[in-house]
Structure 1
């Protein structure tokens, strides 16, 4: 719940009524903030004041100290600049070495890849040759088994046939010719 102020309260109405008649810097078009003096430091708050007035306030001993301090700062800046240049140069050299190493590695990999590709082609050629030879040997084995089977049948027939002297000689010659045909 809000309480109301009594008429005897020191701030009745507008609490800022004391400032109603005061003038502001905006009321004066040619007012400059640089002319305002800070009561704490007793110095001007603006930057429109020339640097020479600051220099006039300094003593000759402080000028020498300031010159030394400026000289030390210049030396530090110069050393830092030289150090930064050296660091940048070293960084560029490291980057260049790294890039060169990568190029060398890429070339080695290309050569190794070419070598492996050549070896693979040779192995494929040898594999195809061995496969062809293996197929030929399987075919030859089949042919030799057929001849062996035919010869075995012929020998079995020869053993089962009774030996007769009455058979003409032509028969044995014919059998031999058939046998030669079967063998070849």
Structure 2
């Protein structure tokens, strides 16, 4: 079995001094690497790296779409926030307007009440003035009435006195007719009255 294997001398020839190794053109030096084969052997690796790069490049649209979606979500959220802020602003403006209108209505109602109070005060003052005038007139009328009543009583008393005097004189004349003059007049206090007036 060992004899069937080639000897070491056949595989590795003995080099002589001064001779060029691998001098024979029929034999090629062992362990010589071919660059083409090396490049061809490295080709799949480069293709693999390219495919990895392509896969990475292909994955970037997904990330871009996710970023776009994120931006869209942010924009939508910001737009919704803007819409909410606008609604709040409009609601605040409407509340301010309603409050202003309510204040104006209240102020107008208060002004109307004040004007009505002023009118009532003026009317009350006028009524009080008229009442005081009526009271003064009533007092004057009452005083005048009292004066007239007292004067009427005095006149009635004088009339009664006169009637009493005339009655006494008529009685005296009836009792003593010769003592009286024959004329038809009787002198009373410097005046003359007919006899028939004494009877009435």
TM-score by length of 1: 0.57
Give the aligned partner of residue 163 of structure 2.
152
Which consecutive unaligned segments of at least 5 residues does structure 2 have?
1-66, 193-200
1:103-128 deviation digits (Å, cap 9, x = unpaired): 20121012111111111111111110
- Note the C-alpha offset of 1:61: 2.9
Q: Distance in 2 between matches of 1:166 and 1:122?
A: 64
1:106-153 deviation digits (Å, cap 9, x = unpaired): 210121111111111111111101111111111111111111111211
Distance 1:135 1:152, change over 3 A: same
- Note the C-alpha offset of 1:179: 7.4
Matched, 1:165 2:158: no
Matched, 1:138 2:149: yes
- Note the C-alpha offset of 1:66: 0.4
Give the aligned partner of residue 105 of structure 1.
116
Q: Distance in 2 between matches of 1:134 and 1:166?
A: 47
Give the aligned partner of residue 43 of structure 1.
none
Give the aligned partner of residue 138 of structure 2.
127
Q: Distance in 2 between matches of 1:139 and 1:178?
A: 28
Matched, 1:62 2:57: no
Q: Which has the higher contact order (CA 8 A, sep 6+)?
A: 1
Which consecutive unaligned segments of at least 5 residues does structure 1 have?
1-55
| Larger Rg, first or second structure (1 or 2) | 2
Higher helix share: 2
Distance 1:88 1:166, change over 3 A: closer
Give the aligned partner of residue 96 of structure 1.
107
Q: Distance in 2 between matches of 1:168 and 1:152?
A: 21
What pairs with 1:4-19 in structure 2 (closer than 5 Å)?
A: none
* Superposition CA RMSD, Å: 2.6
Give the aligned partner of residue 71 of structure 1.
82
Q: What is the number of residues matched between the two proteins?
A: 121
